[in-house]
Structure 1
Amino acid sequence: MTCTIRRAISEDAEEVSSIIVAALRKTNAKDYSEAVIQRVEQSFTPEAVREMMNHRVMFVATQDERIIGTASLDGCVVRTVFVEPGFQGQEIGRRLIAEVEREALARGIALLAVPSSITAEPFYAKLGFRAVRDSYHGEERTIVMERALSTES
């Protein structure tokens, strides 16, 4: 599958929001209650995504000009990694994480953290992240994971 990774722009917010909500509803819903999914969705409205772009370095994966995935870097934390459900399992998430890592290295960041959903924990583990602790927001469990970045090319 050919896709392009680029920096997100404000005009991408609607599509990014739609992809996140679709992934939450289709993929994450098997590990979280409907109430948790609805609460998390509220954090990813188009307006909220646009606001995130002001504070994070956000990337999108595109195929034929259509956004099919997103990931962002917020300081030393990987955030908002979502791939449209129909494109999951096709290395798009891995490519997005690689772009986030390149950005982190360029900023001198040596250790990345990610607050992983239960759903995404195996994905991050395959990329070398290790679980360091659980975090709870009400009934929503996330697994805080970390990975040291190699400065060698």
Structure 2
Amino acid sequence: MDCTIRPALDDDAADISAVILRALRESNAKDYTDEIIARIEQSFGPDAVRALVAKRTVLVATIDNRVVGTASLDGSVVRTVFVAPDVQARGIGKLLMAEVEHIARSRNIPVLTVPSSVTAETFYARLGFKSVRDSYHGDERTIIMERLLDLSIK
């Protein structure tokens, strides 16, 4: 598997949206109700993703020019980390997060925060993130996690 991490382009919006929606429906659905998934999906259509690409640092993971994952950095907050269900557990999320951390270090960001889904909590914990508190948007539980970065590593 030859996976490439690169900055997202406007033209990637539909593919990024498709990855996010598939991951929500197939991976996150085991931890969240259909109503919560439907509500979250409304924030990740192609036009919404295009707007995010314009205002955040958005990355994509590609395999053979197919977008298979995404992650973004919004200030010191990691957002929208998703990997296509058919290629999960192959290190793609870890590669995306390594690049996010590299960018954060280059910007002298000492602490990364991630609002983690219940589904992704173990993934972030394996990367050294610690749970800080729970946050609720209605009945949707999010775990706020943080990781200190060693700024001597660039």
Question: TM-score, length-normalised on structure 1?
Answer: 0.99
Task: State the percentage of identical aligned residues.
Answer: 58
Off by >2 Å, runs of 4+ in structure 1: none
User: What letter matches 1:116 in structure 2?
Assistant: S
Matches within 5 A, 1:49-88: 49-88=49-88
Deviation at 1:118, TM superposition (A): 0.2
Unaligned runs of 5+ in 2: none
Counterpart of 2:7, as a letter, is R
Secondary structure of 2:42's partner? helix
User: What's the CA shift for 1:152?
Assistant: 2.8
The one-letter amino acid paired with 2:136 is: Y
Aligned to 1:105: 105
Corresponding residue pairs, total: 153
Equivalents in 1 of 2:76, 2:152: separation in Å?
A: 18
Structure 1 residue runs of 5 or longer lacking an equivalent are none
Alignment partners' CA distance in 1, 2:40 and 2:121: 17
- After superposition, residues 1-150 of structure 1 pair within 5 angstroms as 1-150=1-150
- Measure, in 1, the Cα distance between the counterparts of 2:94 and 2:104: 15
Q: Distance in 1 between matches of 2:44 and 2:9?
A: 15
Q: Distance in 2 between matches of 1:107 and 1:49?
A: 24
The whole-number CA distance in structure 2 between the counterparts of 1:104 and 1:89 is 24
Find the aligned partners of 2:87 and 2:38 in 1 and give their Cα distance. Answer: 23
1:103-122 deviation line (CA, Å, top 9, x unaligned): 11111101000000000000
- Relative to the length of structure 2, the TM-score reads 0.98
Decide whether the 8 Å contact of 2:20 with 2:84 is kept in 1.
yes
Instruction: Give the distance between the partners of 1:14 and 1:55, measured in 2 at CA.
Output: 17
3-state DSSP of counterpart to 1:44: coil
Letter in 1 for 2:68: I
